[in-house]
């Protein structure tokens, strides 16, 4: 299972309509009466021939996935997505009544214990006139991202789309009056980027029955016990998820979060049923409170070793999800590229976040850093999209030999190594060199024979000298690295 992405693809990709098929159709156009029907069929055939995959189901449009592999296929191929945290919290942007509020920006209502009535006052101030869906989607494309997940409603309870289930939404409660999620859905469809929603199903600090707001509405356990929580779920959260899965075209995934009190009765299952009924191709993340389609790792928590299941790491570019005006702690493009490769080499996806401003702009440093990763991907994307995890592992690092040494979470210390990483596709190993070796790269073991070695950045694919010594191999490298961050060495393998 080194290459789940490709295993899924062979199963999934429909035959389309071949040239031979079209020829057969042509010869069958015999009688005059049959002509319009046959011409119609021919047109459909030509269309499908031009788009050889089963495009309707690829978009999540038709039928049901026959297997879990089929359903997961796009996710395994995609590897890199854009997360967007955008909401009323962009207005205070980390400061309340002149005081900087510590912690992540979208939690300001909770951290500053802002009463609902006061927080609601942000809505009439929210007018993101500089929002441009086309530009946001262009950024995702430039960054080499294949899917987008945006907050449709975060813990503050404010819907960022036109919702009939609650008037507390961007169309009905702000001077903006537009539905940015509609605009983004349309632009993503045009650009071939899959579109999904973050939805905070459990926490809703705006509603008396929602979880999380203890400063206005008292303890959560009480709400769970006295029926208020289920009433909130049934009157707001469930209807809103239905709206999102009905009015925005194919939704690639729903990203539920912080599953407080979801393990009681059929609370989680009710959401699963809604998703399965309305959009059977839509994935459910790992934070609903019941088994989802893939595992969501902790925020910014990249595992130390290969994890052999479908998974994703949500991650920030600085130290917040929602915009904070004074958080300038940006990760560098080199670090982001390393993290992307590191994650793919361990079998996962990277969902990387931007926090747009209250004007509707994505901070410039976020844009610059993402585009730098995109430039690297333009040259080296073959080693990322649809690639599986490393068959090795020693290159990732090792646990500290002293089992008693623990980090601040009580876990054993892992000493990560960062010189190289490996991603794979059938018949290929991609060696990502973050430290350029002097003269040659040595691989202790190859399962098979290296038939050719070249640098991915070399358009001419000039062969590099390889030398075998038993199962070990040595690949001669030029003196200078083609990429100062990560130069990818491609090894063609025959077993
Ligand atoms: C956490 C936070 C939330 C954020 C999410 C992103 O669960 O509660 O604010 O949206 O992580 O992964």
Distance 162 CA to ligand 1 centre (A): 23
Per CATH, the number for 394-494 is 2.60.40.1180
Distance 470 CA to ligand 1 centre (A): 50
Q: 67-383 has which fold? A: TIM Barrel (3.20.20)
pLDDT in tens, 453-481: 999 999 999 999 999 999 899 999 999 99
Please choose, from the candidates 282, 274, 226, the residue with its C-alpha nearest in 3D space to the C-alpha of residue 255: 282
- CB distance 493 to 451 below 8 Å: yes
Percent of the chain past pLDDT 70, that is, above it, reads 87
Q: State if residue 259 touches ligand 1 by the CB under 6 angstroms criterion.
A: no
pLDDT category at 32 given cuts 50, 70, 90 is very low
**Per-residue confidence (pLDDT) for residue 101, from 0 to 100:** 98
Q: State if residue 111 touches ligand 1 by the CB under 6 angstroms criterion.
A: no
**Per-residue confidence (pLDDT) for residue 212, from 0 to 100:** 98
Instruction: Tell which atom from ligand 1 comes closest to the C-alpha of 258.
Output: 7
Helix (H) or strand (E) holding 6: helix 4-12
**Can you tell me the distance from the alpha carbon of 289 to that of 153, in angstroms, rounded to the nearest whole number?**
18
**Per-residue confidence (pLDDT) for residue 239, from 0 to 100:** 98
- Nearest alpha carbon, ligand 1 atom 10: 321
Instruction: Tell which atom from ligand 1 comes closest to the C-alpha of 151.
Output: 10
**Per-residue confidence (pLDDT) for residue 311, from 0 to 100:** 98
Distance 365 CA to ligand 1 centre (A): 21
To test the ligand 1 pocket, which listed residue (212, 258, 315, 320) has its Cβ within 8 A of the most ligand atoms?
Answer: 258
Q: What is the mean pLDDT of residues 366-381?
A: 98
Q: State if residue 314 touches ligand 1 by the CB under 6 angstroms criterion.
A: yes
Q: What is the mean pLDDT of residues 334-349?
A: 98
Residue whose structure tokens are 């997940």: 149
**Residue 449, SS3 per DSSP:** strand
**Per-residue confidence (pLDDT) for residue 91, from 0 to 100:** 98
Q: What is the mean pLDDT of residues 101-120?
A: 98
Residue whose structure tokens are 């029907």: 37
Instruction: Tell which atom from ligand 1 comes closest to the C-alpha of 314.
Output: 12
Show me where the domains of the chain are located.
1-50, 67-383, 394-494
Residue 20 above 90 pLDDT? no
Distance 154 CA to ligand 1 centre (A): 9
Name residues whose C-beta falls within 8 Å of residue 383's C-beta, 6 or more positions apart in sequence.
Answer: 341, 423, 430, 432, 456, 488, 490
Q: Which residues of 105-129 are buried (b: 16+ CB within 10 A; e: fewer)?
A: bbbbbbebebebeebbebbeebbbe
Distance 106 CA to ligand 1 centre (A): 8
Q: State if residue 299 touches ligand 1 by the CB under 6 angstroms criterion.
A: yes
Distance 71 CA to ligand 1 centre (A): 25
**Per-residue confidence (pLDDT) for residue 24, from 0 to 100:** 32
Residue 3 above 90 pLDDT? no
Q: State if residue 106 touches ligand 1 by the CB under 6 angstroms criterion.
A: yes
Q: State if residue 312 touches ligand 1 by the CB under 6 angstroms criterion.
A: no
Residue 78, classified by CB atoms within 10 Å of its CB into exposed (0-12), middle (13-18) or buried (19+), is buried
Counts for the chain of helices (H) and strands (E), in that order: 17, 19
Distance 260 CA to ligand 1 centre (A): 13
Residue 377 above 90 pLDDT? yes
Please choose, from the candidates 272, 278, 273, 269, the residue with its C-alpha nearest in 3D space to the C-alpha of residue 250: 278
Q: State if residue 109 touches ligand 1 by the CB under 6 angstroms criterion.
A: no
- Pull the structure tokens for residue 310: 């479908």
**Per-residue confidence (pLDDT) for residue 33, from 0 to 100:** 43
**Can you tell me the distance from the alpha carbon of 352 to that of 362, in angstroms, rounded to the nearest whole number?**
13
Q: What is the mean pLDDT of residues 329-337?
A: 98
3-state per-residue secondary structure call for 79-124: CEEEEECCCHHHCCCCEECCEECCCCHHHHHHHCCCCHHHHHHHHH
pLDDT category at 272 given cuts 50, 70, 90 is very high
More confident residue, 326 or 23: 326
pLDDT in tens, 410-444: 999 999 999 999 999 999 999 999 999 999 999 99
Q: State if residue 257 touches ligand 1 by the CB under 6 angstroms criterion.
A: yes
Instruction: Tell which atom from ligand 1 comes closest to the C-alpha of 104.
Output: 9
Distance 352 CA to ligand 1 centre (A): 12
Q: What is the mean pLDDT of residues 274-301?
A: 97
Distance 257 CA to ligand 1 centre (A): 7
**Can you tell me the distance from the alpha carbon of 252 to that of 149, in angstroms, rounded to the nearest whole number?**
9
**Per-residue confidence (pLDDT) for residue 333, from 0 to 100:** 98
Q: What is the mean pLDDT of residues 117-143?
A: 98
- Mean pLDDT (the chain) is 90
Residue 308 above 70 pLDDT? yes
pLDDT category at 298 given cuts 50, 70, 90 is very high
Q: State if residue 104 touches ligand 1 by the CB under 6 angstroms criterion.
A: yes
Residue 82 above 80 pLDDT? yes
Q: State if residue 321 touches ligand 1 by the CB under 6 angstroms criterion.
A: yes
**Can you tell me the distance from the alpha carbon of 185 to that of 384, in angstroms, rounded to the nearest whole number?**
25
pLDDT category at 38 given cuts 50, 70, 90 is very low
Helix (H) or strand (E) holding 259: none
> C-alpha distances in angstroms, 140 versus 153, 334, 354, 371?
21, 18, 10, 9
Name residues whose C-beta falls within 8 Å of residue 418's C-beta, 6 or more positions apart in sequence.
Answer: 338, 434, 435
To test the ligand 1 pocket, which listed residue (256, 294, 314) has its Cβ within 8 A of the most ligand atoms?
Answer: 314
Q: State if residue 260 touches ligand 1 by the CB under 6 angstroms criterion.
A: no
Percent of the chain past pLDDT 90, that is, above it, reads 86
Q: What is the mean pLDDT of residues 351-378?
A: 98
* DSSP assignment string, 13-52: ------HHHHHHHHHH--SSTTHHHHHHHHHHHHHHHHS-
pLDDT in tens, 166-210: 999 999 999 999 999 999 999 999 999 999 999 999 999 999 999
**Residue 397, SS3 per DSSP:** strand
């Amino acid at each position: 299972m080194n290459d789940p992405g490709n295993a899924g693809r062979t199963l999934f990709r429909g035959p389309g309509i071949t040239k031979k098929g079209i020829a057969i159709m042509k010869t069958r156009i015999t009688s005059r009466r049959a002509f319009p029907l046959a011409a119609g069929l021919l047109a459909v055939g030509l269309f499908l021939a031009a788009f050889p995959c089963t495009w309707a189901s690829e978009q999540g449009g038709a039928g049901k996935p026959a297997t879990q592999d089929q359903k997961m296929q796009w996710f395994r191929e995609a590897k890199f997505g854009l997360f967007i945290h955008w909401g009323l919290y962009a207005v205070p942007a980390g400061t309340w009544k002149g005081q900087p509020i510590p912690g992540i920006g979208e939690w300001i209502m909770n951290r500053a214990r802002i009463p609902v009535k006061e927080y609601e006052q942000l809505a009439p101030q929210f007018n993101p006139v500089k929002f441009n869906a086309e530009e946001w989607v262009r950024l995702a494309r430039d960054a080499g991202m294949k899917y987008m997940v945006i907050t449709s409603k975060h813990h503050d309870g404010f819907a960022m789309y036109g919702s009939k289930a609650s008037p507390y939404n961007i169309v009905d409660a702000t001077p903006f009056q537009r539905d940015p999620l509609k605009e983004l859905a349309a632009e993503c469809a045009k650009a071939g980027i899959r579109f999904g929603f973050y939805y905070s199903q459990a926490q809703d600090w705006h509603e008396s029955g929602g979880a999380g707001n203890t400063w206005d509405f008292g303890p959560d356990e009480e709400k769970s016990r006295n029926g208020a929580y289920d009433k909130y779920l049934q009157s707001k959260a469930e209807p809103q998820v239905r709206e999102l899965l009905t009015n925005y075209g194919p939704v690639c995934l729903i990203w539920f979060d912080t599953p407080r009190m979801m393990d009681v009765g059929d609370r989680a299952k009710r959401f699963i049923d809604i998703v399965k009924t309305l959009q059977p191709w839509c994935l459910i993340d790992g934070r609903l409170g019941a088994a989802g389609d893939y595992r969501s790792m902790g925020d910014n928590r990249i595992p130390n070793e290969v994890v052999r299941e479908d998974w994703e790491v949500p991650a920030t570019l600085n130290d917040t999800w929602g915009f904070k005006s004074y958080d300038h702690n940006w990760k560098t493009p080199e670090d982001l590229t390393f993290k992307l490769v590191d994650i793919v080499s361990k079998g996962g996806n990277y969902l990387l976040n931007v926090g747009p401003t209250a004007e509707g702009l994505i901070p410039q440093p976020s844009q610059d850093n993402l585009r730098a990763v995109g430039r690297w991907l333009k040259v080296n994307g073959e080693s990322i999209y649809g690639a599986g995890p490393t068959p090795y592992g020693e290159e990732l690092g090792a646990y500290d030999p002293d089992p008693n040494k623990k980090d601040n979470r009580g876990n054993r210390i892992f000493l990560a190594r960062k010189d190289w990483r490996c991603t794979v596709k059938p018949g290929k190993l991609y060696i990502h060199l973050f430290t350029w070796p002097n003269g040659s790269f040595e691989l202790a073991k190859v399962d098979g024979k290296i038939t050719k070695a070249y640098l991915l950045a070399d358009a001419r694919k000039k062969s590099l000298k390889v030398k075998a010594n038993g199962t070990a191999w040595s690949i001669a490298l030029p003196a200078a690295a083609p990429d100062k961050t990560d130069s990818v060495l491609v090894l063609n393998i025959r077993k």
